[in-house]
Homo-oligomer: A and B are copies of this chain.
């Protein structure tokens, strides 16, 4: 009956990175530097792809949105992300996507990190896009069309700048206010920003075409005749059943690269294609066991849906910054009695008056 029983033991405390701490961390490291760092962790984990436990995310669909759990493990650490997708939220002043995530020790099952992931998902999604574009975009690509200027657009632009040497971004959105918001946010970021009135204008002279729109429907953000040869398409927004952005004709003219085929066939642009349509797994390009871009005139398409391993990498990155920065709280998440069999005794000793 040590009095110290009443204070949580160290094992009971889990480092927690709040939104405020995450923003402090991003500013401390720098947003471009942090996305470069995360891209490095993601690339490392794509190199180790085969040893991960992989499963399509566990989704709970409703009429207005989806709530998903995305678990994975490399055998030493286990991670998962909670994430929702509710396109109609924007109209109610809420985020379309909110997320948080966890890392745990496989050996003990004890959580090691709980973190906000709304901000972090924005960084990891952009970091993944840019890491992939580094492998697939035409040599010397320095201009990107950014179609859809919502919450992801600035991060996509700055990750492409930091990782692929992007010099110019051409913005288009059906809502001019979104484009103006994005342009204002990028004004001081040392990149040329062009506001465009049509998607056709946005893709003029661009070697990288990024689509990132939010409507939960089969839309045609890029039609077949808009896309010429020698480009890399970075398709972000088609990421759940019934939600796509590209005309099927574009897919048929492209070489298609995906994260995890069983998930992408359900959620990505390729849900428009037959189930056995050939695609290349990105980890094989990164490890050199499959070809990436093989000619200047080729259209490469990254059919991005977001995979659990990328969140795992991002959480690993954040965890590795904690000690040096101290940007976390210790959260009293786990009951940890001195004698593990004595949970009830721990409860009794916490009774009021037992001080």
A251–chain B nearest beta-carbon distance, Å: 28
- A71 near B89 (CB under 8 angstroms)? no
A324 interface residue per 8 A CB criterion:
no
- B109 near A98 (CB under 8 angstroms)? yes
Q: Write out the residue numbers on chain B whose beta carbons fall within 8 Å of the beta carbon of A96.
A: 340
Contact A185 to B345, CB < 8 A, known contacts A84-B110, A350-B20: yes
A339 interface residue per 8 A CB criterion:
yes
- A118 near B23 (CB under 8 angstroms)? no
Name the residue on B nearest A69 (C-beta).
B69
In angstroms, Cα B152 to Cα A3, docked, is 23
In angstroms, Cα B332 to Cα A350, docked, is 27
Q: How large is the interface on A (under 10, 10 to 19, 20 to 34, 35 or more residues)?
A: 35 or more
Name the residue on B nearest A78 (C-beta).
B67
A19 interface residue per 8 A CB criterion:
yes
A230 interface residue per 8 A CB criterion:
no
Tell me which of A8, A78, A185, A340 has the highest count of chain B C-beta atoms within 10 A of its own C-beta.
A340
A11 interface residue per 8 A CB criterion:
yes
A275 interface residue per 8 A CB criterion:
no
- Give the residue of B104, B109, B122, B339 whose beta carbon is less than 8 angstroms from that of A343: B122
Q: Write out the residue numbers on chain B whose beta carbons fall within 8 Å of the beta carbon of A110.
A: 84, 94, 98
Q: Write out the residue numbers on chain B whose beta carbons fall within 8 Å of the beta carbon of A104.
A: 67, 82, 84
- B86 near A347 (CB under 8 angstroms)? no
Interface residues of A (CB under 8 A from B): 8, 11-12, 16, 18-20, 22-24, 26-27, 31, 53, 55, 58, 60, 62, 64-67, 69, 71, 73, 75, 78, 80, 82, 84-86, 89-90, 92-96, 98, 100, 102, 104, 106-111, 116, 118-119, 122, 149-155, 178, 181-182, 184-185, 331-348, 350-352
Please give 13 more A-B residue pairs, beta carbons under 8 A apart, in addition to A67-B73, A119-B335: A8-B20, A27-B352, A60-B71, A62-B106, A64-B106, A67-B78, A82-B104, A94-B336, A95-B334, A96-B340, A149-B341, A151-B341, A151-B344
